[in-house]
Amino acid sequence: MKHKILGPAGLILAAAILYVFAAPSYRQGEPSLAGRKASDFDFQLAGKTAHLTDLKGKVVLLDFWASWCPPCLEEAESLNRLQQDISAKGGTILAVSEDEDAAAYEKFIQDNHVDFPTYRDPTKKIKESYGTVMIPEAYLIDRDGKIARKIVGAQDWQSPEIMASVNVLLNQK
């Protein structure tokens, strides 16, 4: 009788432990990435070729997303507010979409009044170069082009925790 009760209880405990370690919040701010130079890449912005390194001197939130991703939709308004909050302080968001459908990408940008730089990378090469496997996922990059923090999953970009991380970087010269 004792083994019949412990079997299911053990399975439930094992599942709970796996969930804790697999949950996006557990992966927040992977220490192995902090201080690593952000991988450079080129992208088209307003019809011109640009590079991530062109943003050196700014605090950058590099955000990976897609129009078909419900959590990405959830955080779109919050990202717009973050862009408004940080742009005058030397910060910007650079969003990279993995959308293959250009029309869906454009519709998302228009419908959600996206007011920060965004680029469509249907090849997913940029995302893969960062080791990103799930979206949304973002990298907070300091003024020197080094990764300060990796953020997995949809966020309230005005939360005290996020704003504290962003403000520390904005206040560094």
Mean pLDDT of 133-157: 95
For tokens 């206040």, the residue is: 171
Of the pLDDT bands very low, low, confident and very high (cuts 50, 70, 90), residue 23 is very low
Q: What pLDDT is recorded for position 8?
A: 62
CATH number belonging to the domain at 31-170, selected among 3.40.640.10, 3.40.30.10, 3.40.50.1000, 3.40.50.300: 3.40.30.10
Mean pLDDT of 38-53: 91
Q: What pLDDT is recorded for position 108?
A: 97
For the chain, the domains span: 1-29, 31-170
Mean pLDDT of 22-36: 57
Q: Which of 84, 63, 85 is nearest to 74 (CA)?
A: 63
CA atoms of 122 and 97, how far apart (whole Å): 7
